Amino acid sequence: MYIKKILWAIALLGLTIIGYFAYYIYNAMLTPNTRFNNEEAYIFIRTTDDYSAVRAQLEPLLKDLSTFDVLAKQKKYTNNIKAGKYRIKKGMNNNDIINSIRSGNIAVTVAFNNQNSLEKLAGRVAQQVETDSLALLTAMRDPAFLKAHDFTESTALGMYLPNSYQCYWNTSPENFRAKMLKAYQHFWNADRKAKAKAIHLKPHEVMALASIVYEESKQATEQPRIAGVYLNRLRIGMPLQADPTLKFAAYQLPKYQNTIIKRVLNVHKEIQSPYNTYLNKGLPPGLIAMPNLSAVKAVLNHEKHNYLYFAADPKRFGFHKFAKTLAQHNANASGYHRYLSLHGIKK
């Protein structure tokens, strides 16, 4: 009888231990363990992060880190950290959280539109992804990559079409570059290549001209007409004489660093630079800015006309007056110069 009681006691103790263990496992796996009030929260796990770094991000988001630790170790997450951006939804249990941050890497939106150099573009992108700007810039300037895809450092900016893109936060510089190349190749479909060929330009030359058009006017309705002016000049062998190229050339010189040129003067026309389209015929060697897509399409679908000149319209800010003759243009330009002088804009 005594032995029987002992056996019953051992059995009850075993059941108690099993019950407690089952409760602990249930609590560790299935009990909601978030403490934030929003519907969801996000953590960003860097490529170099270990479990302690992940744990530090989770600490303000979870009610009980100890149960999370137990399950993370049990599921071997502590030694298998995955970089990326991860979502944790309100009311998730530890099991759901671990599954999410182990395999639920979600894309981020990377957007850019007015970065007028590879350096500025790399800086802008680096604000939105894990990698730093120097690594991005190195990938963008990689000579082997540029040569393989018919780019130079002067034309490379044209590969990055201003838009919004979905990519992983922890994407590498090389993968980001590959994604941009794919978007560029998709944009330059057979139809657009045919339009470029019809105006005797290669895609990178279209991008260079579009950058000038964009710097001349941000008005999408006027860009096709401006593009038509420059294409008319190219056709007859006339220098482009594009003031934005003079500004670009000037900004490369120490004298004009950290300045804003509001008025193009004769001294600017004397700058020795391949980007000076007053001294050099044809297109400059590369882009002077990042054109928006409307300017690129304006070149490909330019307005056909006989205009050879245009000057800013002082009565319609952002628009221009167009002329077919130099005499008419000089009259239009004089009106704009009077406007600048009246407002004290001398340089």
Calpha distance 140→121 (Å, rounded): 10
What's phi and psi for 86, nearest 5 deg?
Answer: -130, 145
> pLDDT digit string (tens) for 65-116?
999 999 999 999 999 999 999 999 999 999 999 999 999 999 999 999 989 9
Q: What is the pLDDT of residue 166?
A: 97
Q: Are the beta carbons of 336 and 310 closer than 8 angstroms?
A: no
pLDDT of residue 333: 76
| Three-state SS annotation for 239-271 | CCCCHHHHHHHHHCCHHHCCCCCCCCCCCHHHC
Question: What does the radius of gyration of the chain's CA atoms come to, in whole angstroms?
Answer: 31
CA distance 125 to 113: 11
Q: How much is the pLDDT for 4?
A: 55
**Spatial separation of the C-alpha atoms in residues 88 and 92, rounded to whole Å:** 7
- What gap in Å lies between CA 115 and CA 159, rounded to an integer? 13
pLDDT at residue 334, as a whole number: 80
Torsion sign, CA atoms 173, 178, 184, 186: negative
Of 269, 267, 265, 247, which is closest to residue 256 (Cα–Cα)? 247
Q: Which of 29, 52, 33, 51 is nearest to 41 (CA)?
A: 33
pLDDT digits (tens, 9 = 90+) for 234-272: 999 999 999 999 999 999 999 898 888 888 888 999 999
* Predicted local distance difference test score (pLDDT) of residue 15: 45
pLDDT recorded at residue 74: 93
Note the helical H segments in 131-202. 133-140, 143-148, 173-187, 190-198
Q: Which residues pair with 40 in a beta bridge?
A: 89
Residue 343 burial (10 A CB sphere; 0-12, 13-18, 19+): exposed
Amino acid type, 296: V
Do residues 165 and 179 touch, judged by C-beta distance below 8 A? yes
Burial 138-149 (b: 16+ CB within 10 A, else e): ebbebeebbeee
SS (H, E, C) 291-325: CCHHHHHHHHCCCCCCCCEEEECCCCCCCEEEECC
* Structural contact between residues 183 and 162, judged by C-beta atoms closer than 8 angstroms: no
Beta bridge partners, 312, equal: 320
Amino acid at 344: G
User: Which residues of the chain carry a pLDDT beneath 70?
Assistant: 1-29, 343, 346-347
The pLDDT assigned to 7 comes to: 46
